[in-house]
Structure 1
Amino acid sequence: MTHSLDTYFQQHRDAHLAELSDYLRIPSVSAVPEHAGDVRRCAEWTADALRRAGCEHVQVLETEGHPVVYGDWLHAPGKPTVLVYGHYDVQPPDPLELWETPPFEPQLRNNKLYARGATDDKGQLFMYIKLVEAWLRTQGTMPVNVKFCIEGEEEVASLHTPPFIETHRELLAADAVVISDNPMIKKGQPAIMYSLRGLIGVEIEVIAANQDLHSGLYGGGVPNAVHALTELLGSMHRPDGTVAVEGFYDAVLPLSPEERQSLANAGEDEEQLRRELGLSALFGEPGFSFVERTTARPTLEVVSISGGFQGEGIKPIVPGRAVAKIACRLVASQKPEEIEAVLERHIQRHTPAGVQAKMKRSLSGNPYLTPIDHPFMRAAAESYADVYGVKPVFTRGGGSIPVVEVFGRLLDAPVVMMGFGLKEENMHAPNEYFDLDNFDLGLRTLARFWDKLGQTRIGQ
């Protein structure tokens, strides 16, 4: 059945790329107030594209910021419902002088389409719209039910998207969420990202005397806030790099042999990385590779320290106050509030005599994981292998994409992240492009994915 879709994609390729170019001409820069009208225009263009493809109930829904575009096709009773998430907003194109061609005048060169938003995320999102069109025009139906949730604030941290999802949980309800907004390992080697780390950020303030004191009059006789803070921070790690905060690792799930092998396949050349960074050695938890430490293990990093006189020269005082900021990356199934609690207990137990220490919470985000043996993940992997001729690598993301965790938690659905971009495609930089080999192969892969999902029993 998917062969007829392959033929459709080939026959309509030029028309599809012309339509994608029209999409890319809209400067939907969400970060710049002067482009608010363009962002709105792009939302309307996206809605019209969904309608032309055959989606129903298409709406441009308001938020406190830029709107969300919704559409659906729900005529496959008993079949899974897939929610496609993407974003129509783009990064600012600056610096303009580094672009070889204007950022919002798409250019095709060497089978690559150059424009801001080409790979992040209009090009990858556009494939799903054409997928709906191809199914309905060649088959008159689809093997799954489909919903779209396309936001306009991803490039400005999706501030209003989580509350939108919570408010519209019933409208967005689905058996799986599918996202294509991440890169492959390299050209010809697809990847499925199955986990993202969460995050907490805290500020620790240590107070000694009620003011900075003259070191000639008080030095050696009163506690020093900077000394106390560094002693407290030093108690949080062991010499081998492991976190010494009691309870920090309690909820961490061990990596399976299959996960470790997959991460090894996606791993860095550690010696080359060490040289590129100008380091004498890499560092971290014993027993784990660099890629495991930076994607599958939790961390506690001191990201800044301040106290005493910060100007040029030396002011000989005993600081009365010192502050440190800490960021922790969390992995499934750690909970931000639990890690904040164990960190606060550690601070209370290890604060040096003569000073007070207070912790203030500032950032919080949950980690996310979809098991790689979930039937929907297996269907995605098989679809990649069918088209690309190689099995995809299952990877973890070391950073955080809060909206992914929000979808998984509020909709109680697995999130499948199937990227078709490449790391070298200059997303967020001048001369962004989308390699059209992956546009062609991506359409075929997604067609097979939906076909396989249609053969998967809900709740299997």
Structure 2
Amino acid sequence: MKLRSPLLLVTATCLTIQIQAQQTIGQVRNYRQANEQKIMAEYLEFLAIPNVTSDTVNIRRNIDFIKGMMESRGIEVKLLGGRTPGVNKAVMGKVTVPGATQTIGFYAHYDGQPVNPKQWAPGLEPFKPVFLTAAIENGGKIISDYRPGQPIQPNWRLSGRGSADDKAGVMTILNAYEALVKNKTKLKHNLIFLFEGEEEEGSTHLDEIFEEHTQELKADCWIISDGPRHVSGKKSVVFGVRGDVNVSLTVYGPKRPLHSGNYGNWAPNPARMLVELLAGMKDASGRVLINGFYDDVIPLTVLEKEALANIPDIEQTLKKELGIVEPEGGGLPFLELLNQPTLNINGIASANVGAMASNIIPAKAEAVLDLRLVLGNDAERQVKKLTDHIRSKGYHILDHEPTDAERATYPKLIRVSDGTGYNAQRTPMNLPIARQVVKAVQSTTTDKVVLLPSAGGSLPLYMFETILGAKVVTVPVVNYDNNQHAENENVQISFLWEGIETMAALMLM
């Protein structure tokens, strides 16, 4: 009897597994196509619930809605909180599979950034989701004659706060699971679903939740569904995120606003002082001038640098779309800059402008800085570098409103307040579990999956490693031009549908 080559047997086995995976994804797609109206109706209802993190009444409505979504899919649900009372609960679901040896966790957040409805385009409201023919910035129009039951075009956009960031993660994960169950697909792994309600405020109590519920949240790998796919539109797997910490600055001038004619050239102007201070933190190319700002960065590995080199170049596309002639960075590539720490001015304010402007010397000037951290940076250490720099410019730093005695003693007063911050995280790309994730995502697309060592955005993923002891990989599902955190937030429908397939493949990896 002629024996078959072991290599041929392995090849045949791999081919069989690949065919089975493609068949399963086909079944998920068929289920979604047959149930698009039901899926979208539920999502529209979900998006209509305001989800600003600090709005505790509506956050509770979101929790109840997600709980209902999970229970209707047969998922065992538990609300998780930490030691601090009154915080937004995380919604956890668990699916136990007999004989499973691995547990895969899926994370998304349901809370959203604050909104200013006046900044949204005419006809759009943050919590009244509507379909658009395209992005508003590209001439998209509201599809006002849409009625439930009519076909939903995959190139349409759905507007609304949270439509992309990050209720899309909740929606795609839970509908992926439902599609597998309805198709009677045999699951291989135990599954954990975790939906957080404080991510947009820095996941202030996530460490408490993890510490209180460590055993319940034990998993071999956590899949994070947040952020956008690559600018090229190709599916992505991201192995890390930057850390983040915000710092508020207030420079003080006279105790009350003064007439600029009567006091100009004599009374110190805090707006000018703050602008001068901020301008001295960066050079003309955008490189941070604060001493030691880049010193503790852990460089990318050879494998990570190779991954960057293989990513499609999208800089020209972005420059044209955003109207940028010369980016910051001194000519360094876009992706290389995303793997460096940053100092960004989120906002600056002092007195009034426009129709409300008046000829005054303001009493104070304020700014909020956003420090993005990469692997090797520590949030507290990075903030200290900033405060040391401020002191070097002659400022006396306060943590309170200045007293009369302090005003009489120090010529330059500044209040510095830093918010909750967290460090960066990066998972090695060559780990077996990381390769499993890439293989699963690749099974859902004919395009080459884009592999990113780190995203430019931030999530508290270091907590998954340091507290839960788990590996973390991010698999984003939404379009890059979604206006997350800004007015006119939207998601392209086709990305939601493809996201359901991606999440289903990951549950079966």
TM-score by length of 1: 0.75
User: Which digits, 9 at most, give the CA deviation of each residue in 1:142-188, with x for residues without a partner?
Assistant: 33222222346768876765543443222112121112344332687
**Structure 2 counterpart of 1:398, one-letter code:** G
Query: Partners of 1:216 and 1:260 in 2: how far apart?
Result: 57
Within 5 Å, give how 1:16-415 maps onto structure 2. Answer: 17=36, 20-21=39-40, 23-24=42-43, 26-27=45-46, 29-31=49-51, 39=62, 42-51=65-74, 55=75, 57-59=76-78, 64-65=87-88, 68-76=91-99, 79-87=101-109, 92-94=127-129, 99-100=142-143, 105=148, 107-110=150-153, 120-130=168-178, 133=181, 137-139=184-186, 142-151=187-196, 163-185=208-230, 189-207=234-252, 225-266=270-311, 269-284=314-329, 286=330, 288-293=332-337, 295-306=338-349, 312-315=357-360, 321-351=364-394, 355-366=411-422, 367-395=424-452, 396-402=454-460, 404-415=461-472
Tell me if structure 2 keeps the 8 A contact 1:40–1:66: yes
1:419 aligns with 2:476: yes
Offset at residue 346 of structure 1 (A): 1.3
Is 2:90–2:194's contact at 8 Å kept on the other side of the alignment? no
Tell me, in whole angstroms, the C-alpha distance in 1 between the residues paired with 2:471 and 2:93: 20
2:14 corresponds to which residue? none
Moved more, 197-206 or 99-108: 99-108
Report the 3-state secondary structure (helix = DSSP H, G, I; strand = E; otherwise coil) of the residue aligned with 1:377: helix
State the distance in 2 between where 1:118 and 1:314 align.
43
Query: SS state of the match for residue 297, structure 1?
Result: coil
Residues 273-319 of structure 1, C-alpha deviation per residue, up to 9 Å, x if partnerless? 444444442222x36212332x211111334445578663534x5x6
Contact 2:59 2:88 in 1 (8 A): no
Q: Is the 8 A contact 1:83 1:174 kept in 2?
A: yes
Query: Per-residue deviation at 1:338?
Result: 0.8
Supply the distance in 2 between the matched residues of 1:381 and 1:46 (Cα, whole angstroms). Answer: 28
Give the Cα–Cα distance (whole angstroms) in 2 for the partners of residues 187 and 227 of structure 1: 42
Separation in 2, partners of 1:436, 1:208: 51
Tell me the TM-score normalised to structure 2 length: 0.69
C-alpha separation in 1, matches of 2:466 and 2:146: 37
Identity over aligned residues, as a percent?
Answer: 24
2:300 & 2:245 partners in 1: Cα distance? 22
Whole-angstrom distance in 1 between the partners of 2:269 and 2:33: 70
In structure 2, C-alpha distance between the alignment counterparts of 1:271 and 1:265, rounded to whole Å: 17
CA–CA separation in structure 2 for the residues paired with 1:152 and 1:227: 39
In structure 1, the gaps of 5 or more residues are 452-460
- Partner SS state of residue 416, structure 1: strand
Q: Shift in Å at residue 10 of structure 1? A: 6.3
Q: AA paired with 1:150?
A: F
Structure 2 CA distance for aligned equivalents of residues 143 and 46 of structure 1: 23
The amino acid of 2:502's aligned partner reads: G
Give the residue type in structure 1 aligned to 2:39. L
SS across alignment from 2:281: coil
Q: Contact 1:205 / 1:359 at 8 angstroms: preserved in 2? A: yes
- 2:430 corresponds to which letter in structure 1? D
**Aligned partners of 2:395 and 2:414 also within 8 Å:** no
Q: Which moved more, 1:248-257 or 1:155-164?
A: 155-164
Deviation at 1:425, TM superposition (A): 7.3
Offset, 1:358: 3.0
Shift of 1:230: 4.0
Structure 2 unmatched ranges of 5 or more: 1-16, 113-125, 133-140, 397-409
Quote the Cα distance in structure 2 between the aligned partners of 1:200 and 1:242.
Answer: 18
Alpha-carbon distance in structure 1 between the residues aligned to 2:327 and 2:244 = 23
Sort the Cα spacing of 1:358 and 1:425 in 2 relative to 1 into closer, same or farther, 3 A. closer
Q: Is the 8 A contact 1:83 1:146 kept in 2?
A: yes
The 1:358/1:289 distance shift into structure 2, 3 A limit, reads: same
Task: Tell me: CA distance 1:88–1:105, structure 2 relative to 1, closer, same or farther (3 Å).
Answer: farther
Instruction: Confirm or deny: 8 A CA contact 1:74 1:145 kept in the other structure.
Output: yes
Q: Is the 8 A contact 1:204 1:359 kept in 2?
A: yes
Deviation at 1:231, TM superposition (A): 4.0
The answer as to whether partners of 1:194 and 1:372 remain within 8 angstroms in 2 is yes
Q: Which residue matches 2:505?
A: 445
Q: Distance in 2 between matches of 1:230 and 1:133?
A: 58
- TM superposition shift of 1:343: 1.0
**Partner letter of residue 469 of structure 2?**
D
Q: Which amino acid aligns with 2:62?
A: V
Q: C-alpha displacement at 1:243, in angstroms? A: 1.1
Letter in 2 for 1:83: G
User: Distance between the aligned counterparts of 1:233 and 1:425, measured in 2?
Assistant: 30
Whole-angstrom CA distance in 1 between matches of 2:363 and 2:232: 56
Question: What displacement does 1:337 show?
Answer: 0.8
d(CA) in 1 for partners of 2:199, 2:496:
23
Q: Distance in 2 between matches of 1:146 and 1:197?
A: 27
One-letter code aligned to 1:81: T
RMSD: 4.3
Q: Distance in 2 between matches of 1:95 and 1:126?
A: 22
Which deviates the most, 171-180 or 404-413?
404-413
Amino acid at match of 1:292: E
- Show the counterpart of 1:457: none
Give the secondary structure class of the aligned counterpart of 1:255: coil
Separation of aligned partners in 2, 1:208 and 1:26: 49
Tell me, what secondary structure is at the counterpart of 1:173? coil
